[in-house]
Amino acid sequence: MSSPRFKQVDVFSSVPLKGNPVAVVFDAEALNDQQMATFANWTNLSETTFILAPTDPRADYRLRIFTTREELPFAGLAIRGATTATHSSRYGPSSPATECRRIRRPAA
């Protein structure tokens, strides 16, 4: 796996190194599930997001969210971090529509 382009952003703070850190990986189409999980584990942050092309035409991008242990269907901190990172990138509409991955878990 080559090193994907990513950015670490501070969420909920305008002061560097004072917010909640989130990793945002751009153009993640080339990464498979295991590579995303491995990358999230390497960042060792509470959440790592992966930006992909949307499957819903109303969305600007699709987002997959991983912790060091599992993939999450939704996480406010991660979505806020991805929005912050994408604002100045090529994904950057002022009010982006984000598509999160739906994860079906077996009933307990």
Please name the residue that has the structure tokens 């994907």: 4
Q: Which of 29, 47, 71, 99 is catalytic?
A: 47
Q: Where are the domains of the chain?
A: 6-100
- What stretches in the chain show pLDDT beneath 50? 94
**CATH architecture of the domain covering 6-100:** Roll (3.10)
47 is catalytic: yes
Alpha carbon distance 9, 82 (integer Å): 8
* pLDDT recorded at residue 54: 87
* pLDDT recorded at residue 97: 58
Question: Taking the complete model, does pTM exceed 0.85, yes or no?
Answer: no
